[in-house]
Amino acid sequence: MAMQIVMDHTGDSRHFFDNSSANALVEAERLFLEFTQKGYTAAVRRGPGEVTRITTFDPTAEETLFFPRLVGG
């Protein structure tokens, strides 16, 4: 079961999906595009301590993290 984790000012939300299901992949890609178009940065955990920023949906990723841009004042 793959997971998309979205960080925001309230903490995080998790969206689980079966990456062997075509319908689930369509929905996961839709969420990926939704968050990246809102300005979130997407990253994939490749291993312990190894994270890679991504700009396109990776259907093989087991865990994708979305975090918002930092806002300064």
User: Is 56 part of any domain?
Assistant: yes
For every residue of the chain, DSSP letters joined together read -EEEEEEETTEEEEEEE-TT-HHHHHHHHHHHHHHHHTT-EEEEEEETTEEEEESS--TT-SEEEEEPPP---
Q: How confident is the model at residue 72 (pLDDT cuts 50, 70, 90)?
A: low
Contact 45, 71 (CB under 8 A): no
User: Is 37 part of any domain?
Assistant: yes
pLDDT score at 73? 60
User: Is 73 part of any domain?
Assistant: no
User: Is 20 part of any domain?
Assistant: yes
* pTM to 2 decimal places: 0.88
More confident residue, 38 or 9: 38
User: Is 58 part of any domain?
Assistant: yes
Contact 47, 27 (CB under 8 A): no
User: Is 22 part of any domain?
Assistant: yes
User: Is 72 part of any domain?
Assistant: no
Q: How confident is the model at residue 69 (pLDDT cuts 50, 70, 90)?
A: confident
Range of the domain at 27: 2-67
* Number of domains making up the chain: 1
The 10s digit of each residue's pLDDT in 17-67 is 999 999 999 999 999 999 999 999 999 988 888 999 999 999 999 999 999
pLDDT score at 42? 97
